[in-house]
């Protein structure tokens, strides 16, 4: 039996992880606290830890996990920007879930867009008060509009397909364009200039952090709609707020926020929100914020648990090779992962 400490556990995590764990002799210890330097001791006696997007897995945490005999960090997400993969090399193996339900995230992005441009959230609140006025609810057609998609991995390509179904003109930017995809790629600055709507679907790296900043916003069309269902750090939130106040940005739909770690996934309705920037964004009439829920479908939860359990078993069984291991051996995590047919170390 492999023992795993699952940090930042939520009620919706338990059924799927308990189910798939019981099928593969993996025992999960569900911990509501997030993993960080103060809580890492809770992993003592476990073979692996399972972490999510707001757990802190820095070098100090990794050193302690290594000292406790923990052999594996299993991310139950695709992104791994919260894990110091370089520090883990040679000590603790790292695996992730590269694909769970790309449809879930892409569909949520479109749901946010439709809600915003057709003022559905405002109409919902009005009619609950029996206010059936249409004043202020005028939207615009998506058909014929230009959407710029940044990042054309699985989620980005599905979002592109959805947009094409609406008759939208799609342009895209990716540092590694998908070959023979039929996608019309343009330079990033060109995407900023041409797009009526910009949707982010790329990972957070040193190169992409704050790719949407004041300079980028300045290049955009007046009234542009910005969607982010990827990682909060892709957008400089202060620059975003300034762009909204200056009427440069027509609307923002955010499922992620750079400083979300101590806010999202929790009920804070009875408390004063100390994050003034987030409070001001939420107060804007043309901003919609959801709390990192784009992934949250039954299909995605089952796929995440199934893949995570398989990742764990693969790392502890036979030769220990796992297709979803993240490696720093060659310094190029993604490329190394695609080419490697053996354990990282």
Q: What is the pLDDT of residues 124-138, one digit of tens each?
A: 999 999 999 999 999
299 included as an active-site residue:
no
CATH of domain 2-100+297-339: 3.40.50.720
Instruction: Report the CATH fold assignment for 102-289.
Output: Rossmann fold (3.40.50)
| Whole-number pLDDT of residue 332 | 64
> How do 48-51 and 249-254 pair as beta strands?
unpaired
Q: What pTM value is reported for the model?
A: 0.89
- The reply to whether domains 2-100+297-339 and 102-289 share a CATH topology is yes
Q: How many CB atoms lie within 10 A of CB 341?
A: 6
| Whole-number pLDDT of residue 345 | 80
Enumerate the domain spans of the chain: 2-100+297-339, 102-289
| Residue in 76, 108, 231, 313 annotated catalytic | 231
Q: How confident is the model at residue 67 (pLDDT cuts 50, 70, 90)?
A: very high
Q: How confident is the model at residue 343 (pLDDT cuts 50, 70, 90)?
A: confident
292 included as an active-site residue:
yes
Q: Name residues whose C-beta falls within 8 Å of residue 88's C-beta, 6 or more positions apart in sequence.
A: 57, 62, 73, 94, 328
41 included as an active-site residue:
no
| Whole-number pLDDT of residue 344 | 77
Q: Calculate the average pLDDT of the chain.
A: 94
pLDDT at 159 over 80: yes
| Residue in 76, 119, 201, 260 annotated catalytic | 260
């Amino acid at each position: 039996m492999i023992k795993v400490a699952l940090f930042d556990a939520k009620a919706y995590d338990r059924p799927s992880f308990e189910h798939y764990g019981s099928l593969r002799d993996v025992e999960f210890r569900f911990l509501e606290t997030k993993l960080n330097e103060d809580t890492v001791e809770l992993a003592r006696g476990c073979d692996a830890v399972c972490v999510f997007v707001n757990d802190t897995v820095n070098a100090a945490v990794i050193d302690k996990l290594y000292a406790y005999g923990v052999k594996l960090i299993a991310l139950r997400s695709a992104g791994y920007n919260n894990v110091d993969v370089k520090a883990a090399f040679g000590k603790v193996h790292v695996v992730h879930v590269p694909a769970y339900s790309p449809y879930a995230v892409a569909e949520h992005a479109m749901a946010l867009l439709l809600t915003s441009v057709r003022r559905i959230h405002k109409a919902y609140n009005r009619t609950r008060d029996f206010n059936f006025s249409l004043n202020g609810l005028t939207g615009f057609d998506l058909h014929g509009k230009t959407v710029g998609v940044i990042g054309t991995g699985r989620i980005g390509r599905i979002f592109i397909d959805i947009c094409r179904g609406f008759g939208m003109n799609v342009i895209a930017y990716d540092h590694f364009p998908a070959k023979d995809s039929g996608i019309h790629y343009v330079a990033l600055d060109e995407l900023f200039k041409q797009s009526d709507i910009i949707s982010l679907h790329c990972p957070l790296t040193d190169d992409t952090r704050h790719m949407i900043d004041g300079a980028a916003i300045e290049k955009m069309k007046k009234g542009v709609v910005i969607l982010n269902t990827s990682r909060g750090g892709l957008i400089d939130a202060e620059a975003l707020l300034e762009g909204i106040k200056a009427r440069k940005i027509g609307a923002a739909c955010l499922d992620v926020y750079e400083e979300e770690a101590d806010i999202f996934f929790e009920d804070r309705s009875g408390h004063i929100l100390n994050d003034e920037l987030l409070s001001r964004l939420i107060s804007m009439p043309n901003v919609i914020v959801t709390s990192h829920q784009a992934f949250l479908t039954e299909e995605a939860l089952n796929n995440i648990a199934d893949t995570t359990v398989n990742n764990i078993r693969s790392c502890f069984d036979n030769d220990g090779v796992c297709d979803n291991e993240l490696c720093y051996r060659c310094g190029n995590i993604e490329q190394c992962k695609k080419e490697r047919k053996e354990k990282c170390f």
